[in-house]
Amino acid sequence: MTPRGWMNTMQTMLRFALPSVAVLGLAACATLPHASALDVSLAEQRWPGTTVAQLEAGRQAYVARCSGCHNLHLPDEKAPEAWPETVAEMEKDAHLRPGERELIERYLVTMSTKSHAAGAAASAKSAH
């Protein structure tokens, strides 16, 4: 392959690839949230004794077990009370190991609760 041929190809790919990668770079802002110490206090209202490690284990199990069949849903896509039924329905399809269902449910309900509470607070603030 001649140098000119390589130049043609590289120019073509860059013209083509740079906008695409730039869009993906901007899109990288939206991710599945990690649990923090603040989330533990929310989780403990339902599951006393919950730790950050347990919430993170739920996140990891959710990514590992559920992304194989379909793209993951962010926790705020459903109301907190809707997640237990969804996880129960998916338990068999996802071949969840013992204990994983509870961990995944705890993570999704907690992060959804936080998201919906933040949304309600923002709405109340804007109303005033």
Partner 1 sequence: MTSWCKTLVAWGVGALALISSVAAANERHFAWNYESATLTPGARELELWVTPRLDRDSFYQRADQRLEVELGLAERLQTSVYFNFNLWRTDPDAKVVFTWSISNEWKLKLLDPVADPVGLAVYGEVTGGPADGLLELEAKLILDKQLGPLLLAFNATGEEDFTFGATSTSTLTEVIGTAGATYLFRLGEDTQLGVGAEVRSESFFAGDTGYRGTAFYAGPQVTFAVKGFWAVLSFQPQFAGNKSAAMAASYPDPLELHDHERYQARLLAGIHF
Residue of the chain from 32, 47, 52, 116 that contacts partner 1 (CB under 8 A)? 32
Report the site for partner 1 in 106-125 (rule: CB under 8 A). Answer: none
Please report whether residue 30 would count as binding partner 1 according to CB under 8 A. Answer: yes
Tokens 């770079």 label which residue? 25
Minimum separation from the CB atom of position 11 to partner 1 (A)? 10
Alpha helices by DSSP H, listed for the chain, are 3-27, 37-44, 52-66, 83-93, 100-127
Are the C-beta atoms of residues 52 and 37 closer than 8 Å to each other? Answer: yes
Going by C-alpha positions, the residue among 125, 104, 103, 123 that lies closest to residue 115 is 123
Please report whether residue 23 would count as binding partner 1 according to CB under 8 A. Answer: yes
What residues make contact with partner 1 under the rule CB under 8 A?
A: 1-2, 4-6, 8-9, 12-13, 16-17, 20-21, 23-25, 27-32, 59, 62-65, 67-74, 77, 93-95
